[in-house]
Structures are given as C-alpha cells and as structure tokens.
Amino acid sequence: MLAIDVEGLTKRFGNFIAVDNVEVKVNKGEIFGFLGANGAGKTTTIKMLTGLISPSKGKIFVDGIDVVKYPQKVKEKIGYMSQKFSLYNDLTVEENINFFGRIYGLSTKKINSTKTWLYENFGLKDYESLLTNELPTGIKQRLALGITLMHEPTIVFLDEPTSGADPVSRRNFWEVIQELSRNGVSVFVTTHFLEEAEYCNSISFIHQGKIIAKGSPTQLKKIFEDYPIFEVDFGSPEFNYYLAGKKFDFAEFTLFGNKLHCYCKMKLVSTEDFRKILSEKLQTKILSLRKIKPSLEDVFVNYISSRNA
Ligand code: ATP
C-alpha cells in the first residue's frame, strides 16, 4: 500500500483552477518533494491531502484512508507543519510542548518522555526555558517539526519548513527529516530551495496547478544526458545580463549569480568546439567556459522555460 495515493486531484476557486488533475504516489518511508514557484498550487494540494479543504474532483488516499470521504479520520494519522506553524510565541519551549501534548491527548508520562526525545534529537536542550518568541528561526522550525511529530504520525506534511532559516539550520533540519525517513515515516515536503530537493527520493514539479515533471533527482537530470550544460562568463556583467533568458537555436541562457548557465542544443559537443561556435555566433570574446553537472535548478528552469515557450 502506498503512503499517499492521489489521482485526478483538482481544485477550482470560481473559474480559476488552482490544482489541475494532479497525481501523487508516495511510498512508505519515502521523502517526496513537491516543488514549484509561488502560487503554483502546493499549499492548496497539501490542504486537500490533509483534509482541510475538499477537492473539486479526484481521489485521495493517505495511509489507506479515503480523505475525501473521511477528512477527520486522516488527521489522527498525520502530522502537518504549515507555513505559518502555530507555536505560541509567549510560551516557553517546554510550555509549548506540554500544551500541544495535551491537545494531542497524550498522558503526562508520554509528554515527558517525548520532551526528553525532542530535547536530545532536535537540538532543543539549551532552549527549554526560553520564550518561543526569542528563538532563532532555525530552532523555532525544529521545535515546530518536533511538535508535529509528538503523536507519532506515520506521514508528515511539511509546507516550506525551512524558509527563513540560515543554511546551517536548513542542513540540520534535513538531517532530522532523513532520520525520520530511515525510521519509516513518509514525508511530503514543499520547498523553494531546489538544492534541498536533492535530499528527496522522488520529486514532482508543479507549475500553474499542473505536474510538469516527476522522478528521482537522478532521473530528472537525465534530460541533460546528451545535451551539455556550460557555465559561461563573457567578462562583462552587462552582456551576461543581456543574454539572461535569451533563446537561440544553438543554446539558451540563464543567469546564475554573475555568470550564465548555457543549455546547449547541440548533442554531445566538446567544450572547445562549443567555445568556437559560441564566440562566432555571438561575435564576442569568452572569459571562461566550462562544462558543469546539472543541478535540479537547471532542470526546473528548463522545464518552466519549455512550458512558457
Ligand atoms: P506559495 O509558495 O506562494 O505558498 P503555492 O504553490 O503554495 O504558493 P497556493 O497557495 O496553493 O500556491 O495557491 C495556488 C493559487 O490558488 C494561487 O494563485 C492562489 O492565489 C490561489 N488560491 C489559493 N487559495 C485560494 C482561495 N481560497 N480562493 C481563491 N484563490 C485561491
């Protein structure tokens, strides 16, 4: 049985289709990344999967429960960390844990053992008596995740759990997510940080409500198997900027930092041959050019660009 099994999921708000015929299959213990730009339909999908809003159409099974028929029943089985996770800022870390433990109906004994587990495994030991308001963002996010897990759900939904956190906190957060997955918990996570998606076992890209690509990070990168990607610098920030987003029959360019990623449209061309072609076609000098491995950001940019074309 799949942890999450969704087919034909659609949500309309009036005439607007926010989620359009979406399919999601997540195996038990898998980390599934749901990626897309602002307004793509990620939160709306999560809200339907967690029984918070009902779909206009489609079937949703979470841990074998028919969520469309039994939206309340699924809530006992899952953990959901929303974008604006609902910690109480004027309570200390310990008070928040006590409070949510009681909301979940846990015994005092269970709350205390969970507390010890959270302090040790979520790096919260030195913060127990601090007001939640005073916590650094990364610690607050770990506390929110810990509280989401207090009732030991087998499936967790995390909606942009690392936004606003620094890179070290984000890395620590993902270590916790990977540990959950090793312990058999299935994770459905949305993120804007495409490098974080490398931690996922499988990924779907959603764009304007539709799934435009899916697979493991390795499978998704295969679109570049025959067509190399180059990092190129023309030595002039103005010219680099001018080329950003431009499409030619030989290549397309996207700005990454102050250099360009060049998606080559010629099969298996060598760096030296491509340097000559590029220089001739654009009638300019090249300061640096090197072949690079595709990132998930390259994959995402490529899919979006071919959609918009
Ligand atoms: P973000 O990363 O910004 O949260 P998202 O991918 O989660 O984006 P959603 O919040 O799911 O996107 O929104 C998808 C689209 O549906 C957006 O255009 C949004 O304005 C629209 N939308 C969401 N909720 C409603 C609603 N209750 N009524 C009307 N439109 C809505």
Rg of the chain taking only CA atoms, in angstroms? 23
pLDDT of residue 291: 95
Question: How many angstroms is it from 191 CA to the middle of ligand 1?
Answer: 15
**Residue 157 to residue 176: CA distance in whole angstroms:** 14
**What pLDDT is attached to residue 103?**
87
Cα of 4 to ligand 1 centre, how many Å? 22
Q: Is the CB of 36 under 6 A from ligand 1?
A: yes
Find how far residue 250's CA is from the centre of its chain.
Answer: 32
| Residue 156 Cα to chain centre, angstroms | 13
pLDDT in tens, 281-300: 999 999 999 999 999 999 99
Predicted TM-score of the model (pTM)? 0.88
Q: What are phi and psi for residue 138, nearest 5 degrees?
A: -60, -40
Mean pLDDT rounded to a whole number for the chain: 91
Closest residue (by CA) to atom 9 of ligand 1?
41
Contacts of 216 (CB under 8 A, 6+ apart): 201, 202, 203
Q: What share of the chain in percent tops pLDDT 70?
A: 99
In this predicted model, which residue has the larger pLDDT, 166 or 198? 198
Alpha-carbon distances, residue 160 vs 106, 194, 271 (angstroms): 27, 12, 38
Determine the pLDDT at residue 167.
83
> What's residue 7's pLDDT?
98
161 vs 210: which has the higher pLDDT: 210
For the stretch 223-244, pLDDT in tens is 888 899 999 999 999 999 999 9
Give the three-class secondary structure for 122.
coil
39 within ligand 1 shell (Cβ under 6 A): yes
Q: How far is CA 239 from CA 24, 253, 285, in A?
A: 42, 12, 11
Q: What is the pLDDT of residue 295?
A: 92
Tell me which of 95-109, 166-180, 194-208, 254-268 is least confident: 166-180
DSSP code of 294?
P
Band of the pLDDT at 164, cuts 50, 70, 90? confident
pLDDT of amino acid 306: 72
Say what percent of the chain tops pLDDT 90: 68
If you measure from the C-alpha of residue 246 to the centroid of ligand 1, how many angstroms do you get, rounded to a whole number? Answer: 29
Any ligand 1 atom below 6 A from CB of 18: yes
User: Rounded to whole angstroms, how far apart are CA atoms 58 and 45?
Assistant: 11
**Sequence-ordered strand ranges (E) for 174-250:** 186-191, 202-207, 210-215, 229-233
Nearest CA to ligand 1 atom 18: 39
3-state secondary structure at position 266: coil
Nearest CA, atom 22, ligand 1: 18
Mean pLDDT of 56-78: 93
The per-residue pLDDT for range 132-147, each reduced to its tens digit, is 999 988 888 889 988 9
Going from the Cα of 39 to the center of ligand 1, the distance in angstroms, rounded, reads 5
Helix (H) or strand (E) holding 292: strand 288-292
SS3 187: strand
Read out DSSP for 200-214?
-SEEEEEETTEEEEE
